[in-house]
Every structure is written in structure tokens, then in C-alpha cells.
Amino acid sequence: MKKTQTMKNLTLLLLLLLLLTCHLSPVLSWKKDEFRNCNQTPFCKRARARNPGSTSLTAQDAAISDGELTAKLVLKRIEQQETTPDQIKPLLLTLSAYQDGILRLRIDELDPPRKRFEVPDVVLPEFEGKKLWLQRLSTETIDGDAAPSSVVFLSDGYEAVLRHDPFEVYVREKRGNRVISVNSNGLFDFEQLREKGEGEDWEERFRGHTDKRPYGPQSISFDVSFYGADHVYGIPERASSFALKPTRGPGVEESEPYRLFNLDVFEYIHDSPFGLYGSIPFMISHGKARGTSGFFWLNAAEMQIDVLGNGWDAEAGIALPSSQSRIDTFWMSEAGIVDAFFFVGPGPKDVARQYASVTGTPAMPQLFAVAYHQCRWNYRDEEDVEQVDSKFDEHDIPYDVLWLDIEHTDGKRYFTWDRMLFPHPEEMQRKLAAKGRHMVTIVDPHIKRDDSYFLHREATEKGYYVKDANGNDYDGWCWPGSSSYLDMLRPEVRSWWATKFSTENYVGSTPSLYIWNDMNEPSVFNGPEVTMPRDAVHRGDAEHREVHNAYGYYFHMATADGLVQRGDGKDRPFVLSRAVFAGSQRHGAIWTGDNTAEWDHLRVSVPMILTLGLTGISFSGADVGGFFGNPEPELLVRWYQLGAYYPFFRGHAHHDTKRREPWLFGEKNTQRMREAIHTRYMLLPYFYTLFREANTSGVPVARPLWMEFPSEEATFTNDEALMIGSSLLVQGIYTEHAKHTSVYLPGKESWYDVKTGAAYKGGKTHKLDVNEEGIPAFQRAGTIIPRKDRFRRSSTQMVNDPYTLVIALNSSQAAEGELYVDDGKSFEFQQGSYIHRRFVFADGKLTSLNLAPGQTQFSSECVIERIILQGLSTGQKSALIEPANQKAEIEQGPLLLHSRQGPTVLTIRKPNVRIADDWVIKIF
Amino acid sequence: MKHKMSFIATVLCVLCLLSQSILRSAANQFLGIAPEDEKYYKSSEVIKCKDGSKKFSRAQLNDDFCDCSDGTDEPGTSACPGGKFYCRNVGHAPLQLFSSRVNDGICDCCDGSDEYDGKVSCPNTCWEAGKVARDKLKKKIATYQEGVAIRKQEVEQAKVAMAKDEAELSKLQSDQKTLKRLVEQLRERKEQIEKAEERERLQKEKEEQEKKEAEEKAKQENSGGEDQEKTKAEEEAKKEKSEDVEDGSAEDKPIESQHDDNVGNLDDSHSYQDTAEKHDDLGTKDGSIDTPEHIGSLVDGVQQEAVKQKKESVATSEPDFDGGSKVPHDEGDDASENTESLSKEELGRLVASRWTGEDTTKESGEVDVTKDSDHEDHEELPKETHDEQSDGYASETDDDNQKYDDEDHEDEADDDFGVEDHSDSGSSYKYESDTDSDLSDVTTLSNPSWLEKIQNTVRNILHVVNIFQTPVNQSEAASVRKEYDESSAKLSKIESRISSLTQKLKHDFGPDKEFYSFYGRCFESKQNKYVYKVCPYKQASQEEGHSTTRLGSWDKFEDSYKVMIFANGDKCWNGPDRSLKVRLRCGLKNEVADVDEPSRCEYVALLSTPAICLEEKLQELQHKLDLMNKEQPHAHDEL
């Protein structure tokens, strides 16, 4: 009897387990097996198996030619037992120096049987103009080498060294410490193109897909060392910690290398070295001792990067200069050439600027794009759109952009409308535009293979599709079913594509419509690893394997160009893309793809955004609320509170989820989300100023703490908090029912809680009480933040509203801040049509200084209606405005207008000085 | 001509500006203040913020600088985020705006008073807009007036009908008592007769037995022992078989044999089929089998099976369970394990389905081939519901501005209202409920003369039948039996009627029993290929051809009888259980319109009904209209 019971229990248990796994499967449904790991990727496996010191190349014939240092890399003849045929021919190495401490290293085959792919249209054309014409090289014998090394000038403080034997390239401080080096561990390998040998099989198979690999092995790998480095960062995109953890070395668990291969990863997990939708092969090192440096390898093929933990090479017996702390990394790529850039820093912002001088600064967005976006898969019909729009108004919640996902189209044929659901798209857009709002529709790169679809017909006729290995138009599967993919690598395809966005060609569009590029990795549902086969063929016989990571970049570029053309070059484009490559910042915004409504995904959004920012992509954000799943109201509220500080702020949801517009969770939660969104609108002048800063300098809007406090070690691994510009520090709340949190506030100066006005000492960790009303955010003492405190329906109506300046004085009773204003839409700012002020508070005087050069055509009647003074040590009573010689009262006023029981602060009442003017306000 | 036109335009413009500046200077200080509030501002030079936080001087009123966090000091500007702007909208209804609308370049008030900074010019459209609104309101009032009357009638009728129900119930209850007594008496009598008959029979048997015993003393057979041996052998064989299937697992063996002992005499070949049938039942009955309850019952089923089964081992029953409970998502998972065997198209569909949740097996053929043909039905079902779902999501719906509202929008003047707006093919009918099918029968039953008849008959029978008579009079006994059978059948009918009436009367029919007439009725609405059926107090469903999806069972009224909730409908793939919220509006007929699915598997519908045409609401509307009429300017032709 008892045994029967046991049996019963067993059955029950079994069934329960079954149920449980059924239940859990959505949570753990990252399909790991569908993607190749390093061991399943032959080039990666080969490279990773090599030992340090195995490079058998030496540099010879070093000489200056055309202002560059060139040399040949040839195989050492000595003691090489087996010379494989692919290592016979010499390689050509070129070193060139550019302004601002940038060294470029190129290594390619001298005379390859087939041209290896070089990524076009990523390096700015004007970058070539910054090349320094090297005059001479000096030689120097290093560490008792047999052969002397060649040394060339890089910048005032730095020089580049080509060590001949063993072959090594590095940048060092003049006659001093090394900064970055390549091949110091002797891992360099370059698989040269060659004839297929007798009986050789070059094909690769993975899960039923065959890659023909007609050109055989052609991978490149080498080690890069960063000196004086405590941590390395960068190489997005993945959901993992901000400071990159070692992937190999003693004490490191068996780990995959960091993978750079653009993939559409269904339900990605929040802590994995696995690559996601974008790839930027740019790594930044930072250390207390030396500062910051960067290394960028322009290569669009699959890349795998190991961060090597201390002592990884213990057995190799190679002695590198060890006086400096050093981080070794190992870079492997399936194809392409070596085209690498060394950035010397030494500050974090220097590296950002240096990188931006190669790949460009972020485009200046329109003001509306910096505001709040409302998206869902899908707002189903015109009525739904109208409904959601009016609900925002009813609840006095501002928003600027309403988005339509794939279901708005006629059968996923982009540039068309489902006329049942959207019979009057122009009218719908005009209605939104009448409230100053915009619309975004989705346009993906897969084109439905349907002969009645004009795009498909034209693309087929013109031969604009990517070809498969057999030379036919590649036929893959995506939303519309059978689809082909435009060869965006070809400039003529991009120009053709760009014309499709004119209001005449895009029927049903109006000038207030902007674009969203999704699935541009490209995502191919029935392709290997959910993408295009590597042996597909692009223009000039480039293989997809060589182009892959940049495919989405070209698509993004062509779409943005289309919108520029549509507006006659007078309207800044807005295009959101999921796929990313180096330089994507020039084309528009990026979001972190299909995340999940989980606390861990909220948390990981911060390192993801910080990493993107560090690698040039300033305009980024995560889907607020989480794409998959239904967030608890608390999580949703927290996400809005943090998302309000994302550079790109959009709520989005999967179509299986419950509706989650901000008013659907009870008045209390509506109020919290409204306040979060209002906070963003209030800070729009500050954000817009930061976007301009990014646009001119490459310094991102959202920054790691150490970008502002480079010598504070406590900030190096902090990826829970972020700096918005140099003045605001924000930290999310990442746990349920949190009552307390710890926030580290760096620096020597104090920080002012933006809601309570309370001051906190810098340089220490504070344990803070938290409630559901907000997340910790602080203004750094010594800064001035411009705000617009009046609420409107959208940013469009805020244009004429007056400003508030929030001044937080530092210990020497001083503060500084900037304000940038332009028309918010056009490119006229590029001709100097803008207002750019610096506000300086010192010696009891607030001065507005002009930062705009020369005469500006842009003006504004906007005034400053309120100046808030925090940290003023003496009780001044009134203010005198010069040159008008007017008096203004100083009184106690609210820190935030909308908070009922908020704190009061010293306020200069109605100074009403114009932001366009020079003025001084004296306080006494 | 052109000159003339531009001249007129200029004049108009100047006039426009003039009027605006006049408006500004004259009314500026008290702009945005409701008339009933003016006293508050005019009474003194120092004014308190309404939230008590602060005081401000008269000069600070509407000086475009926010002093009170609640916006008291800036009713006429956008300076305070918390402020409200009042526009009089003479000729139309007054309006309170968020201060964020003041001078934002968008005309919100029909009198244009919210835009006075000269950046845009808002024409006064109150007269026209007001007329439209008044007409609309009038129509609405007319609907209400008629609706209120109908409602009154219905309330009366409901009271009568309910009283009738209650009367019937109490009558039935007393009949039940009487009948119970009669049945009891008949039963006693019947038993007495049977006892007498038994005695007779025993007597007879005894006599015959004695005769037989004498004749067949020598002949005897032993069949019982053989039987026993046979069973034993059978059991051995079965044991071996089950061990084979179980791979001779050491732990399972003793359990299994114990099993045998317990269930040895059950029919083996039957048990498996039983369970299979059970699965089928579950499937067909509920349309979907992945709800927790279903899985629960499946667990039971399998468990029972495990107990019962002998030839079928757990191993065979498992895939069976699997097949039955599989949801599309799982199929995806399973299939992903061997995607290599898929065609390119199948793979594409499969991967797409991860995002869309669409079923891939339908078009791409058998991605997930079921081994057991018995379970085809199970596979079908989730598919079907799933298809409906995705189609339903994309389905077209009629215009209704207030589709997703959680609040009651009847209060809004501009609410698109009235029965005539909804031209859906709505209809209603009474459903044939199981309990009500007895109705005719019971009506006859409740006829008092009928009961008397029974009573008389019974009395007669009881009187006539002599139970001590031997042998028992066969005709008398038969009539007792017949009467007993008939009466107890009638009793059970009465009892079931009582229980159904009690059930019915337990329901919440609203404060005035205005929803009484909804009981036992269904309202239908056809939208595209779907027919939506809303049966208050019962359930709601979506039908397409022969497939029915349950949107929910009756749960309750919500929001003071303005919303009906149907909950716990069929499970949605990757979503919540289906549910339906029916919003009620005053209308002259009971009609369902605008069924929609604003959020996955959460449906909303609109039901117009006189049942909520309330007198108070009518008065409110009338008052509103009076106000609007009063506010009409005498001379409309100002400019």
C-alpha cells in the first residue's frame, strides 16, 4: 500500500516537473544551442588554441613612404620546421599617424588572389585630412633585440614603435611607458588566401546549414595589450557587466570569448558574453595610474575577443615590461584585414573625441526625438492611435512620438498600410502633428518576395538583392514569409532606397513621419543562427561573412539619408536602428532590442547604455517596461523612473503583453509615471545641450562615473549608476520593495538630491532610504542645470516657455553650466544658427557668456523666469540685473513646482533675462 | 479683388488683435477663474494658496510666476504645472483645462480664451460647437427619457416576475413537503407489499428447494477452484509483461506487483482507452486543454490510469499526456532541438513563431508529428483557439472613441452616444437552459388541482390496498408501485425546479432588480466572422462557425452596475485566461456592440440597455442642458 503511494507520488512529481518546465520555458528560452560557440567556430577554435610566442613573422624593409611607415612582415627563416603554404608570402604593414594622438595600423596581403574586404564608408572622409605626413623614422635598439626598431612621431607626447624582431607595434609616451601594443604576446596570425589543396574540405556545417566557404580560411588574430589599465570596457553589444570580466586565465571559469556578431537573439539573458544585435570592435581601457586609451579594429566579420586574466600566460615564459599593470586581450576575426586605430587618451573624454574623429560624432537629433516615445507592437488601428493619444492628454502626460510596429503594413510590405486598419494615415499623422506630435513607422530590410509588391519588383529588376552562394537572389524567411534582402553595401542601392522615403513615394506618409529600422542584423528566421548565410554575396563579390556586422549600419545609413532627402536637407532625420556598428551614431538612435520585463533586465540596461555611449553611440535606450512579459506595476514605475534618464526614452511592449500605458495601473502609479516623464521634459534643455556636446565632441550623454572622475577607483566598476552629463548622477532601483539603497557619490564636492534638495558629501557611499516616488538622482555641486518647468503636451509646445536655472554651488561658492538652443529641427545649427551660453557663478555674480562664435541667425525671446540657488552660504536678499539695472527679489520658493510638500530653496524671482543676451546678475 | 480681400483680411486681423488685447487688459487678472471662484480672489489683497501652503498678493495673481504649488495664483497662465484654467465658453459648456494648455499654440477652449499671447488666433466656435453639443445632449436626453420609462416598466415587470418566482418557489416548497409525505407513505406501503411478496416467494422457494434437493443429491460440481487458478495464471502473465515495459526497474517491480494485487480484477484492455477518452472529453468540452484545471484533471486522469493500468506502463502513458497537454510554445521548444530536419520554410515559420506566437504547424505541415493518432484531437484544439486569437487581435472593429476606457464616459458631454450609432447586427434571445427545460412540466406540476389529484389517488390507494392480504393483490401492488414511481419522479422535478429557482434568486439583479430580465437571456453581436454571445449570469463566448471560445463565466457587476465582468474564460496561449468586460450604456434596446480585444485575451464589449437609464442621470443631463442654454449669449453676432 505504501509503495503504491510512492508510485503515485513519483508520477505526481514527474508531472509537476513537466508542468514546471513548461511553465519556466518562456523565462529560460534563450536558444543557446542555436548559436555557435567558439569551439563550433573553427577560426575561433584554431586561434584560441595557439600559444603565446608562436608568431613567426619579422618586420623588414621599414621605410617612410608617402608620409607613412611601411614594412613587410615576412616569415622567419630560422628554425621553422614546417612552413605551411599560406605563410609564405610577405604581408604589407602600414603605420600612419593622425592628429590628436591616433595611430592607424594596417596589415594586408601584398598581392592576394582575391581582394580582402575593407569596410567602406565608416571612417569619416575628413579623417584622411588629419593625417600627419611622417618625415622620418628613427631607429632604436630595444631590450637588446637583434634588430633595431623603427620609431616614428605620433604626437607631442607620444611615439609609435615598430619592433622588427619579434614583430610588435606599440604606442608609448615619448621615451617612456607603453600605452597600447599589438602582438606583444606573439599571438599574431594571418591566414592568407590560397588555392584549395587536393582533397581539402572548406565547407562548414552547423545545425543543418552549410557554409561553402569558397575562399577557405582567412582569419586574423592578434593580441592587444593595454598598459596602466585596471579595467577594459566597450565592445558592445551584450547584456553583461560594464567592466569586462576576463574570459580566460587562472581563476576564470570556462567562458566563451566576447562575441561580436550581429544576431537577433530571442529572449536574451541578462548576463552573458554572448553578442547581441550590434558590434562595435572598440575597446577602452582605463586605469588610475595611466588614464584611458582605446583600440578600434575596423572589421565587419565575426569577431571574438578574449579578455585575458592576470597570469593567463604564466607558462609561456614571455616577459613583457612588467613595471606597469597591464591587461592583455586577444582579438580574432574570421575575415577582412587589419585596420586598427590606437587612441592614446589620456583622459576618457580624449579617447571619446579621438574615436569620434575616426567614426564621427553622434548626429544632432531633433528636439522631439529627445522627448518621450510611446510604442507598442502594435497600436492596431487609427482608432487605437487616437485613443492612446487622447489618453495621454486626459492624464496630462506629455509624449512626443507614437510608434507603429509591423502590423500597420499591408502584409509586412513596408511603405504600405493595412488600409482596413489605417484607411487615412495622412489624416492620422496630421492630427498628431496638430498637437506637435510625430509618428514613427517601421521599415525593415527584408522585402517580401511578392511580384505584386513594387519594392520587390524594382529590386529584382535592378538586381539589388544580396545573392546566395549560387548567384541567385537570396531567399530567406522573415515577417512577410519568403523575403529577399537589399544589398545595402552598394551605394546605388542605398541611393535608390533613400528615394523611397519621399512623401510621394511613401504613400500615406507626411513630413511628421519618421522611421524605425528593426531586424537589420539582418534577422533571417531560417538562416544559420537566425541570420544570413556567410557565403551570401554582396557587391564586388564581397561575402556576407566579411560584411555581416556592418549590414545593419548601411541600412540605417540609407534610411537616414532618405529622410534627409525627403526634407530637402532641411529636416534632421530620426531613425532608430537595432543593429549597430562603429559609426552608427551618425545615423540615429539605437535601442537594446528585445529585453524582458524583469528586474535584472532593468539593471543591465545601465551597463548596456554606458557601453554604447563609451563606444560612440550616445543616443541609446532600453525598452521601458521590458519588451517580453508583463512587468509588475512597481517594476514598470521603476523603469520609467530610470528610463526618463536614458538618452533614448521609449516605452515598448510585445503584442502578447497586457496594455501598459502609464494610466492603466491606478492613480498612484499613474502619478509616479507622469512625474518620471515630466522629469524628462523638465530636463529637456539640459539633455538637448548634452546631445549637442556629444555632437561636437563625441562625449556621450550618459557616462560612466569614471568619465567624470577618472582617478576614483571606486567608480571603475560601478554600473548601477550613471552620469547624465557632468552634472547629474542617477541610480536606478533594481529590486522589488526596496526600502534602502547604497549610492556612491564621487568627488570632493557635495551632491544635491534633485527632489529634496538635501546635500550629501562626495567621496563616500551613502545608505539612503527610498520610496516608490522616485529613484536617487543628484546634482553635483559646482554645476548649473537649465530646466523648463512648465508642463506641456509635447516638447513642441515648450519652445517659447521660460527657463529655470538650478545652481548648485560648490565649496568655493562657484558653479558653471551650459545651455544650447537651436531651432530643434533643421541643419541650420551647422551654419552657426544657435544659442550657446555658458553660465558662470562666481564671486556672488551669475554671468551669461556667449559660446557661439560670431553672429548667429537664431534668436529666441525665451527668458529665465527663475533661478534656484543651492548651497549659498550667506543670506542674500536681492539681486541686481545688469546691464538693465533691474532689481529682482530673492525669496524662498519650491525646488520643484509640481511637488506639493517639496522643499523650499532660495529663488531669484522673475529675473526675466533673455537667454540670447549677455547679462550679469549680482546677488547681495 | 485681391486687394480688397487682403484689406478685409487686415481689418479682420486688426480686429482680432484688438479684441485679444482688450481681452487681455480687461480680463487678464481674473483670467481662467471660474465664476463661482471669483469671490475667493476678489475678497482681499492677500490671497491664500488653496492648499494652505503660502499666501500671495493680488499683484501676484496671474503674474506668470508660480507661487502656489497647487497653482492657486496662476489660474490664467501656464506658470504652475498643477493649475487649472477655466474657460467660460459662452454658448457651449464651460471647461477646465490643465494649465499646460494655456498659450501652447493649440486652441482648446471654443471661445479661444486659452490662447491669448497672440501666437495663434483661435476663432470663437462656441456657438456652432455648442449647438452641436446641445443637439447631441438633447438627443441623449431624449434617449434617457424614453429609457427611464422603459426601465421603470422593466423594473415593475421584474418585481412582478420576481414575486411570481418567489411565490412559485414557496408554493413549490410547500408542495414539495406534501409530496414528500405522500411519497414517503407510498414508499412505506410499497415496502410492505414487497415484504409480503418476499415472504410469499420465500415460502414458494422453500417448497421447491426441498423438492430439488431430493432429486439432485448425487450430482455435484466444483467450478469455484478452477476459477481461482485461472486468475492466478493470468496475473503472472501480466506481471511479466509489465516488467518488460518497465525495463525491469528494481524500484518499480514491487510497486508494480502490488499494483496488480490491488487492481487485478479490473478489465485491462479497457483502462487505457478510458483515459484516452477522458482526454478527448476534456478537449472537446473545453476547447482548450492547457488550463491549469485541465492539466490538473489530466494529472488525475493519468494517476487513475497508473493505478488501474496493467498492460500499459507509465512509459506509454507519458507521451500520451504529453500529446494532450502540449501547448504551441512547447512544440517550438521541442522542434528546436532538431531544426536540422526542417525545411527552410518550416524553420523560418518556427523561428518567427517565437515572437508572434503563431502556430507553425498549421501551414508548414507536421513539424511536430504525433505518434499517437488517438490524440489528434488534442493537437487540434490549442491550434484552433490560438488561430482565433491572433485573428481576433487583428480583427476590425467599429468606431467607438471610448473603447479602452476604464472609466465611465457617459459623463462626458462629447461622448458619442445613442443607440443609433451602433448599427451592429446585435440581437438577443432567451437561451434554453438545462434547468428551464423542465419549465413546462413544472408549470403543470404546480397546478394545484393536479396535486390534489395525486393526493386523492394516493389516499384511495392507501385506503384500498390491504397489505395483510395473502396472496398480495397484484393489480393493487402495481398501482402502488406506479404511483410511487410517478410521485417520486415528480418530487425530484419539483426539487430541481426549487434549486434552479433558488439559484436564480440568489443572483444580484441590481438595486431595483433592473437586471432581472437579463437572466436566461443572451445578447449576440456579429463582427466579421465572429459571433459574440453575452449571456449575463451565465457566460460569454466567441463563436466562429462551429468552434466556440469561452470568453468567461459570469462573475459580477462592477463599478456600480455599469460594468459586467465575465472571468476565467478559456486559457490564452502565452497570455492570461480570457475575460470579458461589458460596459453598459443607456439605450433603448438591449444590444451588444463593439466587442474588442484591446489587450491580449482581455475583451471588452459595449451593451446598451435601458436598465441603466437612471432618473438621476437624466436630471443631471437636463441640468447641463439648462446651463448651456442659459449661457447662450443674447447677441451672437459680436464678431
Q: Look at residue A14 in the predicted model and tell me its pLDDT.
A: 52
Closest-CA residue of A relative to B575 is: A656
Q: Which of B104, B258, B574 to mutate to test the interface with A (most CBs of A within 10 A)?
A: B104
Mention every residue, 6+ apart, whose C-beta is less than 8 A from residue B443: none
Cβ–Cβ below 8 Å for A6 and B255: yes
Residue B5: pLDDT over 70: no
pLDDT attached to residue B3: 53
CB contact set of A451 (below 8 Å; sequence gap of 6+): A457
Q: Is B303 in CB contact (< 8 Å) with chain A?
A: yes
Q: Do A208 and B342 touch (CB under 8 A)?
A: yes
The string of pLDDT tens digits covering residues B226-240 is 555 555 555 555 555
The CA-based angle A89-A90-A94, given to 5 degrees, is 150
Taking an 8 Å cut-off on Cβ atoms, the answer to whether B345 and A420 are in contact is: no
Residues in contact with B607: Cβ distance below 8 Å, sequence separation at least 6, in sequence order: B523, B534, B564, B582, B583, B584, B585, B590, B591, B592, B593
Is it the case that residue A531 has pLDDT exceeding 90? Answer: yes
Q: Mean pLDDT score of chain B, rounded to an integer? A: 70
Residues of B in contact with A8 (CB under 8 A): 303, 306-307
Give contacts of B 432-471 with A, CB under 8 A. none
Encode A240-280 in three state secondary structure. Answer: CCCCCCCCECCCCCCCCCEEECCCCCCCCCCCCCCCCCEEC
Alpha helix stretches (DSSP H) within A404-463: 425-434, 454-462
Q: In whole angstroms, give the CA distance from residue B422 to residue B526.
A: 12
Nearest to A554 by CA among A472, A629, A494, A612: A494
Residue numbers of B between 125 and 154 with CB closer than 8 Å to A:
none
Mean pLDDT of all residues in B14-20:
44
Q: How far is B600 from chain A (nearest CA, A)?
A: 6
- Cα(A792)–Cα(B81) distance, integer angstroms: 9
- Residue-wise pLDDT for A343-376, tens only, equals 999 999 999 999 999 999 999 999 999 999 999 9
Is there a contact between A436 and B119 if contact means CB atoms under 8 Å apart? no
Per residue in A230-254, pLDDT (tens digit) is 999 999 999 999 999 999 988 888 7
Asked if A387's CB is within 8 angstroms of B600's CB, the reply is no
pLDDT digits (tens, 9 = 90+) for B527-558: 878 889 999 999 999 988 888 889 999 999 98
Q: Whole-angstrom Cα distance, residue B516 to residue A910?
A: 64
- B208 vs B23, residue with greater confidence: B208
- B470: confidence class by pLDDT, cuts 50, 70, 90: low
C-alpha distance from B348 to closest chain A C-alpha (Å): 4
Using the Cβ of B156 and the Cβ atoms of chain A, whether some distance falls under 8 Å is answered with no
- Contact criterion met (CB < 8 Å) for A790 and B78: yes
Cell of A110: 601584398
Percent share of chain A, pLDDT over 90: 83
With beta carbons under 8 A apart, name residues in chain A contacting B360: none
Share of chain B above pLDDT 90, in %: 17
User: According to the model, what pLDDT value does residue A307 have?
Assistant: 96
Q: In this complex, do A22 and B105 lie within 8 Å of one another by their Cβ atoms? A: no
Gap between the terminal Cα atoms of chain B: 23
**DSSP letter string over A340-373?**
EEEE--SSHHHHHHHHHHHH-PPPPPPHHHHSEE
Q: What percent of chain B has pLDDT over 70?
A: 59
Other residues' Cβ atoms within 10 Å of the Cβ of residue A24? 10
Q: What whole-number distance in Å separates Cα of residue B590 and Cα of residue B524?
A: 10
Choose, out of A2, A6, A11, the residue to mutate when testing the contact with B (most B CBs < 10 Å).
A11
Q: For testing the chain B interface, which of A792, A898, A905, A910 should be mutated: the one with the most B CBs within 10 Å?
A: A792
Q: Which residue has the higher pLDDT, A342 or B426?
A: A342
Give the pLDDT mean for A494-516: 98
pLDDT digits (tens, 9 = 90+) for A272-326: 889 999 999 999 999 998 999 999 999 999 999 999 998 887 766 666 655 678 9
Cβ of residue B593 closer than 8 Å to a chain A Cβ: no
A573-582, B379-388, B396-405: range with highest mean pLDDT: A573-582
Band the pLDDT of B322: cuts 50, 70, 90.
Answer: very low
Is B497 part of the contact surface with chain A (CB cutoff 8 Å)? no
A87 confidence band (pLDDT: 50, 70, 90): low
pLDDT per position as a tens digit, A838-855: 999 999 999 999 998 877
What pLDDT band is residue B426 in, cutting at 50, 70 and 90?
low
Question: Could you tell me which chain B residue has the CA closest to the CA of A891?
Answer: B67
pLDDT, chain A, mean: 93
B261 interfacial to chain A (CB closer than 8 Å)? no
Question: Least CB-CB distance to A658: which of B349, B356, B600?
Answer: B600
DSSP H helices in A435-550: 454-462, 491-499, 544-547
Q: Answer whether residue A228 shows pLDDT above 90.
A: yes
Catalytic residue set of A: 518, 521, 594
Cα Rg of chain A, angstroms? 29
With beta carbons less than 8 A apart as the criterion, state whether A418 and A409 touch.
Answer: yes
Smallest Cα distance from B147 to chain A, Å = 28
The residues in B 539-578 lying below 8 A from A, measured between CB atoms, are 574-576
CB contacts, 8 Å: A655 with chain B: 356, 393, 600
**CB contact at 8 A, A559 and A515:** yes
H-run or E-run covering A158: strand A158-163
| Res. B263: pLDDT tops 80 | no
Task: Determine whether the interchain pair B53/A421 forms a contact, defined as Cβ–Cβ distance below 8 Å.
Answer: no
More confident residue, A525 or B232: A525
What ipTM was predicted for this assembly?
Answer: 0.87
Contact A4 B53 (CB under 8 A): no
Query: CB-based burial of residue A419 (10 Å sphere; 0-12 exposed, 13-18 middle, 19+ buried)?
Result: exposed
Cβ pair B465, B480 in contact under 8 A: yes
Interchain proximity B80–A897, CB inside 8 Å? yes
Q: How far is it, in rounded angstroms, from Cα B133 to Cα B41?
A: 31
Closest CB to A11 among B314, B354, B356: B314
Q: How far apart are CA A869 and CA A813, in angstroms?
A: 10
Residue B455 has pLDDT above 50, yes or no: yes
Q: Nearest residue on chain A to B394, judged by CA atoms?
A: A380
- A22 CA: distance to closest CA in chain B (Å): 7
Cβ of residue A433 closer than 8 Å to a chain B Cβ: no
Which of helix, strand or coil describes residue A686?
helix
Point out the residue among B254, B302, B327 whose CB comes nearest to the CB of A11: B302
Per CB-CB distance under 8 Å, the chain B contacts of A657 are: 599-600
What is the H or E stretch that residue B21 is in? helix B2-27
- What average pLDDT does range B592-618 have in this prediction? 87
- For residue B99, the chain A residue with the least C-alpha distance is A791
The pairing of beta strand A258-260 with beta strand A919-923: unpaired
CA distance A103 to B24: 65
Cα–Cα dist A90/A190, whole Å: 11
Identify the weakest region by mean pLDDT among A181-195, A825-839, B380-394.
Answer: B380-394
A903 vs B: CB within 8 A = no
CA nearest A431 in B: which residue?
Answer: B106
The answer to whether the peptide bond before residue A522 is cis (omega within 30 degrees of 0) is yes
What are the backbone dihedrals phi and psi of residue B19, each rounded to the nearest 5 degrees, phi first?
Answer: -60, -35
Q: Is A908:A866 a contact under the CB 8 Å cutoff?
A: yes
**In this structure, are residues A831 and A906 in contact, taking their beta carbons and an 8 Å threshold?**
no
Of the candidates A11, A34, A477, which has its C-beta nearest B336's C-beta? A34
Q: Mutate which of A264, A417, A670, A897 to disrupt the B interface (most B C-beta within 10 Å)?
A: A897
pLDDT of residue A854: 75
**A372-374/A401-404 β-pairing:** parallel
Task: Give the pairing type, strands A740-745 and A728-731.
Answer: unpaired
Pick from B149, B113, B125: nearest CA to B23: B113
Contact assignment for B397 to A383 by CB distance below 8 Å: yes
Q: Which of A515-519, A903-907, B134-138 has the highest mean pLDDT?
A: A515-519
Q: Check whether B446 has a pLDDT greater than 80.
A: no
Q: Which residue has the higher pLDDT, B525 or A748?
A: A748
Inter-chain contacts counted by CB atoms under 8 A, chains A and B: 185
Q: Select the highest-mean-pLDDT range: A18-32, A139-153, A699-713, B141-155.
A: A699-713
A413 within 8 A of A448, measured Cβ to Cβ: yes
C-alpha cell at B427: 440581437
Query: Which of residues A873 and A296 earns the better pLDDT score?
Result: A296
Nearest residue to A689 (alpha-carbon basis) of A916, A398, A370, A356:
A370
Strands across the sheet containing A623-624: A620-621, A589-591, A575-577, A513-517, A438-442, A401-404, A372-374, A649-651, A623-624
Contacting residues of A for B325, CB less than 8 Å apart: 18, 22
> Over the stretch A689-702, which tens digit does the pLDDT of each residue have?
999 999 999 999 99
- Indicate whether B261 pLDDT > 50: no
Partner-chain contact A790 B303, CB within 8 Å: no
pTM of the full structure: 0.80
Residue B331: band (very low, low, confident or very high) from pLDDT cuts 50, 70, 90:
very low
Interface of A with B in 668-687 (CB under 8 A): 678
Q: Which residue has the cell 480672489?
A: B41
Q: What pLDDT is recorded for position B517?
A: 86
Q: What angle do CA B622, B624, B627 make, to 5 degrees?
A: 110
Which of A24-38, A254-268, B524-538 has maximum average pLDDT? A254-268
Only one residue has cell 546605388, namely A492
- Give the model's pLDDT for residue A500: 98
Predicted pLDDT of residue A11: 57
Q: Is the dihedral of CA A505, A507, A512, A514 positive or negative?
A: negative
- pLDDT of B416 > 60? The answer is no
pLDDT at B604 over 50: yes
Cα(A226)–Cα(A342) distance, integer angstroms: 10
> And the C-alpha cell for A729?
548622477
Whether residue B576 and residue A658 make contact (CB cut-off 8 A), yes or no, is: yes
Question: What is the number of other CB atoms lying within 10 angstroms of the CB of residue A736?
Answer: 10
∠ Cα B136 B137 B142 (to 5°): 100
CA B86 to chain A, closest CA, distance in angstroms equals: 16
Query: What is the average pLDDT across B245-260?
Result: 43
pLDDT level of residue B506 (50, 70, 90 thresholds): confident
